[in-house]
Structure 1
Amino acid sequence: MHRDSLFYQLFAQLPQTLFDLLGIQTPQGYRFDSVELKQTAFRIDGVFLPPDPSGTVYFCEVQFQRDTTFYERFFAEIFLYLRLYRQTFSDWQAVVIYPDRQAEQTSFEPYDVLVESDRLRRVYLNELGSPEELPLSLALMQLMVVPESDMPRVARLLAQRSQSEKAPKPEVIIELITTMVLYQFTELSREEVLRMLGFTTEELKRTRFYQEIYAEAQEEGLQRGLRQGLEQGLQQGLQQGLQQGLQQGLQQGETLVVLRQLRRRFGDLPADLEEGIRQLSPHQIEALAEALLDFTDLGQVSAWLERSP
């Protein structure tokens, strides 16, 4: 995933981020969109559309690589949009987001008048300030350019701020932080990132990541249990078979959640260890689900199974 995509996810989920960046009060009703100008195959990736024709349309581009013809393309797209959709707005503003000044092209001619005008706002993320002092939306944006060595600390800080400051859409913010860290640390799993952010076991269970895995495993287990139950129902009676199938499906779903979590952390499981987990009672599976996130190797899992009554 490119950094541009991360920025546009942030804008789509939290459109007030642009207005925090500009230092103005967030207007109501703005909609973020990507607009294709079909006549020329141009595409403006970031357009903030006003709710009515009396508003201002904002064009936003994220530019992380130096492009000697960037402003030529950007202004060409803007003016074509203005020509095609003039009836939908009363004014316009452009914003370009750079990681630092070195990413910007050095020669602006013949667009220097526009570049230096109030129509364009150039933002350099490394000059915004510290993540402790910035609004949360801007600190999220800056997370994409912090040094790799600082990213775990800053990511934990922002995760904590999303909870303590009662931010809007905290689950969206956590998901964005997790995605940004995964982009930087490709060798980590999503679960490991969430743990790195300081989530407790109970908090981890409330994340979308855990719930998606749990729902997937529950569905798989339920379907398997239903199939077994239906087969037994043909022999013992349909009603009894369906009830048993549902019970088995729910239990197998819990077991599959635990097995899937262990595979994500430690890779393939020894056959005897997996079989031992499949033989656990529902109460034992619940206890193992609570304990597994504290394990650091498969030896601890085996020791837990040996101790389990």
Structure 2
Amino acid sequence: MKTDKLFYRLFLSQPGLIAELIPEIPRDCKFTYSAPGVKEKGFEIDGLLTPTANDLSLPLIFIEAQMQRDPRFYGRYLAETFLYLHQYNVKRPWYGLLILPNRKEDLGSEIPYQELLKNQIKRLYLEDLLTLTDLSPNLALLKLLVVNEEDAATLAQSIINSAETEEELRRRLDLVEAILVNKFPQLSTKEILEMLNLKTADVTQTRFYQEVFQEGQQEGRQEGRQEGQTDLVLRLLNRRCGVLSPVQEEKIRSLDIELLEILGEALLDFTAISDLEAWLLEKL
């Protein structure tokens, strides 16, 4: 499973996650992500989180996900880190964050680096999350990477249903879907949606929609439900068929709820943008 970019996407999309794992980081600290190269020996740092604020007391975070055995990992990781600090004349503190599957993988001797590993570098073992309950949504997203298929369905639904704002809902839907697609490449889009227990074009079962667009709301209920359905259909189409043109997106936004639901079912069989064009031509 190619998880490196997925991890960094999680950290940038969920700003509070880095502070949960490294308590010394302020919860409101925002970062940019890069993967800078260093000149010596062709080293390349997998992930560097740089604070967006100009406050030099805020640290750089050298983050790396190592999911398989590498007897020279610790030495390589720290060589890359210190070469970067030297090459770019860094004047702010730094921390390391390592995402590791378990304590059994051979990553090399810790003896030469034990003080750094104890004080400067945080190690998150994903296997430790498997036995924990009542996790924050941020840590639950990391746990979703390592649970089995049966538990993944329950956990994914819990993460989505805990969203309290529309923005949070959309972000979590996108992250959960991305994790499941990477974790279970053998599953079809329809099977992923069934795992989430969501209708293709209906997210009204989430806590956000139950609370904000509940039955009986006098104003905006129909508009809110349709907007949610439209956004989800557009997101699935972009993933299934590629980026839509502004004209195509406008046509989809003009659909009523009934047609959105029909399109939501039909798009599971789409393989190219031409399938969408043919559907729109038939229905409009």
TM-score, normalising length: structure 2:
0.70
| Deviating more after overlay: 152-161 vs 185-194 | 185-194
- Structure 1 unmatched runs, 5+: 224-249, 268-273, 283-309
Residues 87/65 of structure 1: CA separation in 2 closer, same or farther (3 Å cut): closer
CA 1:193–1:10 in 2, change beyond 3 Å: closer, same or farther? same
Deviation at 1:146, TM superposition (A): 0.8
Matched positions, count: 242
Distance of aligned partners of 1:220 and 1:169 in 2 relative to their CA distance in 1, 3 Å threshold: closer
CA drift of 1:148 comes to: 2.4
User: Where does residue 223 of structure 2 map in the other structure?
Assistant: none
Relative to total residues, which structure has the larger helix share, 1 or 2?
1
| Aligned residue in 2 for 1:53 | 56
Post-superposition shift, 1:69? 0.5
CA shift for structure 1 position 155: 1.1
Q: Does 1:138 align with 2:158?
A: no
Aligned CA RMSD, in angstroms, stands at 3.7
Following the alignment from structure 1 to structure 2, what is the Cα–Cα distance between the partners of residues 185 and 158? 18
Residue 148 of structure 2: aligned partner: 147
Q: Is 1:264 aligned to residue 268 of structure 2?
A: yes
1:156-195 map, 5 Å: 156-163=157-164, 166=165, 169-195=168-194
Q: Identity rate of aligned residues, in percent?
A: 28
SS of the residue aligned with 1:114? helix
Alignment of 1:104-253 (within 5 A): 104-105=106-107, 107-115=109-117, 117-128=118-129, 130=131, 132-163=133-164, 166=165, 169-200=168-199, 201-203=201-203, 206=228, 208-212=231-235, 213=237, 216=244, 219-220=247-248
Structure 2 match to 1:85: 88
Q: Which amino acid is 2:3 matched to?
A: R
For residues 114 and 203 of structure 2, the distance between their equivalents in structure 1, rounded to whole angstroms, comes to: 51
CA distance 1:27–1:129, change in 2 (3 Å): same
Tell me if 1:68 matches 2:67.
no
Cα separation, 2, equivalents of 1:170 and 1:42: 38
Q: CA deviation at 1:174?
A: 1.1
Report the CA distance shift for 1:143/1:71 in structure 2 as closer, same or farther (over 3 A): same
Structure whose CA Rg is larger: 1
SS of 1:75's partner is: helix
Going from structure 1 to structure 2, the CA distance change for 1:95 and 1:259 (only over 3 Å counts) comes to closer
Q: Is the 8 A contact 2:130 2:146 kept in 1?
A: no
Q: Is the 8 A contact 2:17 2:139 kept in 1?
A: yes
Q: Match for residue 286 of structure 1?
A: none
Which structure 2 residue ranges, 5 or more long, are not aligned? 205-225, 272-277
